[in-house]
Structure 1
């Protein structure tokens, strides 16, 4: 396999829903072993370098029952699926019963065939790993209770939503800092040496099936955060952080395994230092959504070397659909920014067609939706631009001629691409002696200002791209 390009494209697919819809389309049961060749070709033709098959592992029957008893979740399921029935709930892919590919998706044979199909088309396979918690029915709860954060009878009596009895033991439910506990999972003890060893062994096995990992809530395993979350349980962290110990050990067996962290709370620098290859850039998402040009420029002013290790997105399974989170034409600008600045560009299945309904990960199907020709044509043009240029030159943030504008340049050997955009609801007026306003080869919301020659306006969420020799 060739190494990843400077600006990789990552595509997230909800495996359960993808296979369900392919089965419906073809009129026969489709698993990862029997994906039609034209479906793999379709992914290649988009120009993706990595495909993240989200949710392939065995899910917990106990976790599914807990989800079905949650009235808040049931209400959400009913809102998404007007004809909802309990059989639509297949459990959370982040409530992992075992790191074995679910038989209903094709098992180990299926994932290896999927990986081979991707490799034959020059794409890498990414799978999930959930380090912070695991399903209550996992074998470790019976055979290795020491791997978990445990509680007392008093904990269970006072905080029944935060603890659960399994067999002879009381375990803490999984959680993140001071947020409410996740009801369907139990909390692993990141500081326990036996757990770390077992995690390394698990990751080495997973590494035999894929090319990279999307690590769920990776920052929760940092000593500082873990100790703060569980400070009342008397857990003393070891000298080495979890990832400092785990990632090098796994990379001894799989030196090219790609580690991508779901990361928040400004933990990206420390996670990259501890061995991750890439981290989510949630700050850029937030600043684009909040229409803050000053903070967007601040985010893009960081060194290119650092930004190259970030994963930029405007949609994934945790967030609202892009055309909902970024209304009107804001989604176009947000997509252009995340696609044309340094770092991996992550897209979510359904984003390219303009789907608007966010599907809870517990569900095995989704409602039919009308797709958008406008959205499809926009992404076709955007992905063609990325394929043509690969954005392999030098990135430079440009001084802004107006408080609401953001601009940057990619300098290649014999040419450059210049981008300007207005991420706000205000109109920005400019003269052509300030920025290269002549002949942008792609522009929306960038128009002449009345009869004033050489004066232009960037409308709200307008953008323009120039190709210069």
Structure 2
């Protein structure tokens, strides 16, 4: 198994990919029937992890809500112009059971996939949804006390946040799962973490998931932090994550946990035991296309940054090719994926897909690969396989004015990566206009032939001058260069 201090993860929407595979095959199959070349190709691109999104069993109640909830329909139509009811299979986060869905081949097929992945040097990541369950989860009938309850008055006043369902105690009002800032998700029910039995049961569920994979991505992990839960529901709860993660580590010492987290709570969850946490802050600042906030974000200590999951898109965000024009996309990717942390890529990103596929759908549109972005990502992934980027030492570079009165240096972001074998420098002009800066701290080689350009936005026009004062960059808008220098 490959070991990397800064690993790379590839996310696949399992239901969408499996639908396409079955159509090509001309019949039903399990995910273990996918061709071995599928896994081989991911391993050869240098990935350490494969995240199979949405393998768990969901129910008819969730599918029905997805097909009838009017606010979601416009997004579905935007993704699939020829949308049909069969394409709407319900949210993969409205889980009825942590068993592999039968139409994917069940747990036996999943075990077969994991074995194939491990043989290729890949680890398997799956989902864990701690905050809520599906409307038709067995606990609704058997253990209604596991959920946040409401009154008939709540139901009349906030129909968007409550629903009446049948349990073994008769009809009861349940709260939809939600976060404190938005209306509830009407295909889910909120678990009540003030009930110790809920925490015990969810730890048991997490352990059951951990038996089937090498790591989990925990959906909206911050929602069950005590301070967030109290703000949302007005209930005090005991901390869940420290004891849940400790229980997992006791049985599976090498298990990896990735937290989806927002609201500047990344450090909090890292301190509670998560190996990696989403870095939405870097994504947002790159999307705003202003260099200074990006650079300020990268000043944080490596004890924090090394545990951040860096991304430009995922199943929740718009496609990067839709959000960023091509030249901005490349510059943003250089900043993102050559930073320390977990490098997190999404299926379709590498070929420049531009249509976002909602998690309620099990079919996506056919898109033609963008040749420019495909070639760019191929070069980036090849570069990321160099040991210096996987386990080397990273430092934010010291950029200075190229000459007095030239303020364009403020738009530059630079890094240095160093290992026993090589030193690599990264420079990006993250701005919509040309810029110049001087890089300090680099030892200038006597012979420029000792340098090697790994990635560049302008291979024919280097825009780099080296002398005894350092390195001077003269880059166009969104220009970048990744190159080696001898120590």
Tell me which interval the TM-score lies in, with the shorter structure as reference length.
over 0.9
Out of 251-260 and 342-351, give the one that drifted further: 251-260
Counterpart secondary structure, 2:477 = strand
Give, in whole Å, the separation in 1 of the partners of 2:143 and 2:8: 39
TM-score, scaled to structure 2: 0.91
1:421 corresponds to which residue? Answer: 428
Residues 301-353 of structure 1 show CA distances to partners (whole Å, capped at 9, x for unaligned) of 11222211110000100001111111231111111112111001010011111
TM-score, scaled to structure 1: 0.94
Structure 1 residues 32 and 416: CA distance shift in structure 2, 3 A = same
1:171 corresponds to which residue? Answer: 174
Residue 24 of structure 1 and its aligned partner are, at CA, apart by 2.7
Alignment of structure 1 residues 157-168 onto 2, 5 Å:
157-167=156-166, 168=171
1:467 correspondence with 2:484: yes
Residue 191 of structure 1 and its aligned partner are, at CA, apart by 2.3
2:212 corresponds to which residue? Answer: 209
CA contact (8 A) 2:91 2:360 kept: yes
Structure 1 residues 328 and 383: CA distance shift in structure 2, 3 A = closer
1:27 corresponds to which residue? Answer: 26
Residue 157 of structure 1 and its aligned partner are, at CA, apart by 0.8
1:365 corresponds to which residue? Answer: 363
Alignment of structure 1 residues 225-244 onto 2, 5 Å:
225-231=228-234, 235-238=235-238, 241-244=239-242
1:289 corresponds to which residue? Answer: 287
Structure 1 residues 236 and 389: CA distance shift in structure 2, 3 A = closer
User: What are structure 2's unaligned runs of at least 5 residues?
Assistant: 401-408
2:71 corresponds to which residue? Answer: 72
Residue 197 of structure 1 and its aligned partner are, at CA, apart by 0.3
Residues 79-128 of structure 1 show CA distances to partners (whole Å, capped at 9, x for unaligned) of 22121111111110011111111000110001000100000001100000
2:410 equivalent among 388, 398, 403: 403
Residue 29 of structure 1 and its aligned partner are, at CA, apart by 3.0
Residue 58 of structure 1 and its aligned partner are, at CA, apart by 0.8
User: What are structure 1's unaligned runs of at least 5 residues?
Assistant: none
Counterpart secondary structure, 2:479 = strand
Structure 1 residues 102 and 443: CA distance shift in structure 2, 3 A = same
Structure 1 residues 170 and 376: CA distance shift in structure 2, 3 A = same
Give, in whole Å, the separation in 2 of the partners of 1:247 and 1:69: 37
1:189 equivalent among 192, 198, 202: 192
1:335 corresponds to which residue? Answer: 333
CA contact (8 A) 1:445 1:460 kept: no
Counterpart secondary structure, 2:410 = coil
Out of 439-448 and 301-310, give the one that drifted further: 439-448
Residues 162-185 of structure 1 show CA distances to partners (whole Å, capped at 9, x for unaligned) of 001111211111110121111111
CA contact (8 A) 1:6 1:390 kept: no
Give, in whole Å, the separation in 1 of the partners of 2:278 and 2:387: 24
Give, in whole Å, the separation in 2 of the partners of 1:455 and 1:16: 49
1:298 corresponds to which residue? Answer: 296
1:322 corresponds to which residue? Answer: 320
**Count of equivalent residues:** 462
